[in-house]
């Protein structure tokens, strides 16, 4: 078991040697189809950064110019602001940092302290953000009051949302969400729910924040904002847009960025907007704008879900599939709608766990999330994430593995 990384990963005997397309090769000589994609950073499939390094040399670009903005950073900013329909941005090195910055700016802008968030949504590992990821305190080392300013609700709960603003509206600095809940299975918003979030925030002088670290550029070039036609005050991107190199960005409107622009909120990092990350983002966006990546992902997703549904029906296995462009989840349940974290945890988690682990024995890795806790409130489900590299062969191998796994589970 590899323990050298001190708990960064779950206990594993796997050490990756090479990753290309939709597959990972290990030092032990094995190969598997991967639907986790480097924590879903590889929207186009696994690629080397050699082309980026060559590009930096060809353009004679520095890796870092410190406090002086470089023209290539400005070029990326123009694209991101246009795509997001925002007016200001601040580069960071991760989604966790960008979300943390968003909360701090929201508090400075409003003069308030409380954060509204939803059970099961993941917003990074910083203090208040991780303390609210599940109903119980998730990580040791946090101060006792880490959750004191959190108002936690179930996803798609219209009444609970309205009640929260009715009771605490004068003290709510911001409300944040994954616009498609992907960290507890794939749970899209109910019709009108995102609009209600944004409208209630504006009516109460609070800041609405979409955490699009997962959905940004995965569900489409304009992210969940464009998919649903709902535009909050601030949005965060990371992961998929940078192609696997460290990157995060907070975007918002000028009025809400005033605490940053007026130097009332301090934010600094040596590597923000470094040239390697910026160049990678531009390469990813340029390719996504052509449309072929989304066509390939949509084709693979349709074929894969159709094949899995046929398999489960033949096996007499109760199931329910929910999806958004580029991601989906299979819930083992008699329910025909999963609307919240609580709904997801009420499905047959042990069977899902066995299915995922059996699939791995047959060469396919899917995110199970964390299902190791006796208290289900501390568990979460992953989603299946697809890339343009999940071609017909990858889909076929996945369906063969799923059929073998189902035979073992129903034997």
DSSP per-residue codes, 79-113: HHHHHHT-SEEEEESSHHHHHHHHHHHHHHHH---
Three-state DSSP class for residue 78: helix
385 within 8 A of 367, measured Cβ to Cβ: yes
**Does residue 10 register a pLDDT over 70?**
no
- The pLDDT score that the predictor gives to residue 51 is 84
Query: 320 phi and psi, to 5 degrees?
Result: -150, 130
**Does residue 329 register a pLDDT over 60?**
yes
d(CA 364, CA 32): 5
- The pLDDT score that the predictor gives to residue 283 is 94
- The pLDDT score that the predictor gives to residue 376 is 62
Q: What is the average per-residue pLDDT within 212-220?
A: 96
d(CA 80, CA 88): 10
245 within 8 A of 280, measured Cβ to Cβ: yes
Percent of the chain, pLDDT > 70?
A: 92
**Does residue 373 register a pLDDT over 90?**
no
Greater pLDDT, 308 or 268: 308
- The pLDDT score that the predictor gives to residue 163 is 98
Model pTM score:
0.93
d(CA 35, CA 384): 6
The least confident of 53-57, 205-209, 341-345 is: 53-57
- The pLDDT score that the predictor gives to residue 11 is 55
57 within 8 A of 264, measured Cβ to Cβ: no
- The pLDDT score that the predictor gives to residue 378 is 66
**Does residue 5 register a pLDDT over 50?**
no
- The pLDDT score that the predictor gives to residue 8 is 47
Q: What is the average per-residue pLDDT within 188-201?
A: 98
352 within 8 A of 337, measured Cβ to Cβ: no
**Does residue 6 register a pLDDT over 50?**
no
d(CA 202, CA 199): 5
**Does residue 7 register a pLDDT over 50?**
no
d(CA 406, CA 411): 8
- The pLDDT score that the predictor gives to residue 410 is 83
**Does residue 104 register a pLDDT over 70?**
yes
Domains of the chain (ranges plus CATH)? 70-288 (3.40.640.10)
The least confident of 109-113, 186-190, 241-245 is: 241-245
Q: What are the pLDDT digits (tens) for 40-57?
A: 889 999 988 888 888 888
- The pLDDT score that the predictor gives to residue 125 is 85
Q: What is the average per-residue pLDDT within 85-105?
A: 96
Q: What are the pLDDT digits (tens) for 123-181?
A: 988 888 877 675 555 567 777 788 889 999 999 999 999 999 999 999 999 999 999 99
Own/partner contacts of 53-56, CB < 8 Å, gap of 24 or more, are 53/276, 55/279, 55/283, 56/275, 56/276, 56/279
Q: Count Cα atoms within 13 angstroms, Cβ side, for 26.
A: 13
d(CA 411, CA 407): 6
- The pLDDT score that the predictor gives to residue 271 is 87
- The pLDDT score that the predictor gives to residue 164 is 98
Three-state DSSP class for residue 1: coil
Three-state DSSP class for residue 365: strand
d(CA 93, CA 213): 12
């Amino acid at each position: 078991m590899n323990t050298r990384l001190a708990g960064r990963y779950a206990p594993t005997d796997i050490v990756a040697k090479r990753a290309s397309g939709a597959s990972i090769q290990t030092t032990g000589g094995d190969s598997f189809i991967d639907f986790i994609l480097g924590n879903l950073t590889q929207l186009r499939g696994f690629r080397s950064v050699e082309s980026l390094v060559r590009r930096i040399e060809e353009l004679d670009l520095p890796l870092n110019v410190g406090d002086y903005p470089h023209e290539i950073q400005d070029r990326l900013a123009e694209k991101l602001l246009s795509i997001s329909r925002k007016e200001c941005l601040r580069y960071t090195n991760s989604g966790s940092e960008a979300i943390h910055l968003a909360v701090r700016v929201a508090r400075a802008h409003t003069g308030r302290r409380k954060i509204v968030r939803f059970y099961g949504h993941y917003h990074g590992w910083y203090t208040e953000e991780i303390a609210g990821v599940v109903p119980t305190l998730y990580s040791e080392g946090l101060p006792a009051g880490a959750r004191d300013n959190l108002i936690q609700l179930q996803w798609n709960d219209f009444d609970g949302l309205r009640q929260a603003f009715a009771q605490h509206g004068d003290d709510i600095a911001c409300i944040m969400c994954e616009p498609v809940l992907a960290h507890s299975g794939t749970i899209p918003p109910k019709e009108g729910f995102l609009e209600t979030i944004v409208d209630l925030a504006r009516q109460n002088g609070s800041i609405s924040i979409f955490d699009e670290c997962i959905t940004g550029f995965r569900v489409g070039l304009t992210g969940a904002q464009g998919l649903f036609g709902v535009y909050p005050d601030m949005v965060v991107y990371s992961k998929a847009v940078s192609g696997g190199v460290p990157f995060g960005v907070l975007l918002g409107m000028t009025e809400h960025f005033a605490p940053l622009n007026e130097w009332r909120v301090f934010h600094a990092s040596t590597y923000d907007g470094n040239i390697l990350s910026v160049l990678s983002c531009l390469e990813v966006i340029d390719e996504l704008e052509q449309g072929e990546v989304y066509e390939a992902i949509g084709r693979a997703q349709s074929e894969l879900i159709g094949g899995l549904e046929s398999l489960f029906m033949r096996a007499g296995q109760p199931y329910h599939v929910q999806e958004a462009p580029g991601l989906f989840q299979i819930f083992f349940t008699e329910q025909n709608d999963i609307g919240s974290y609580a709904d997801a945890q009420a499905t047959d988690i042990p069977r899902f766990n066995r299915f995922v682990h059996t699939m791995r024995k047959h060469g396919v890795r899917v995110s199970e999330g964390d299902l190791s806790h006796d208290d289900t409130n501390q568990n979460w489900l992953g989603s299946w994430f697809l890339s343009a590299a999940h071609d017909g062969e990858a889909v076929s191998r996945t369906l063969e593995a799923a059929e073998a796994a189902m035979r073992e589970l129903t034997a």
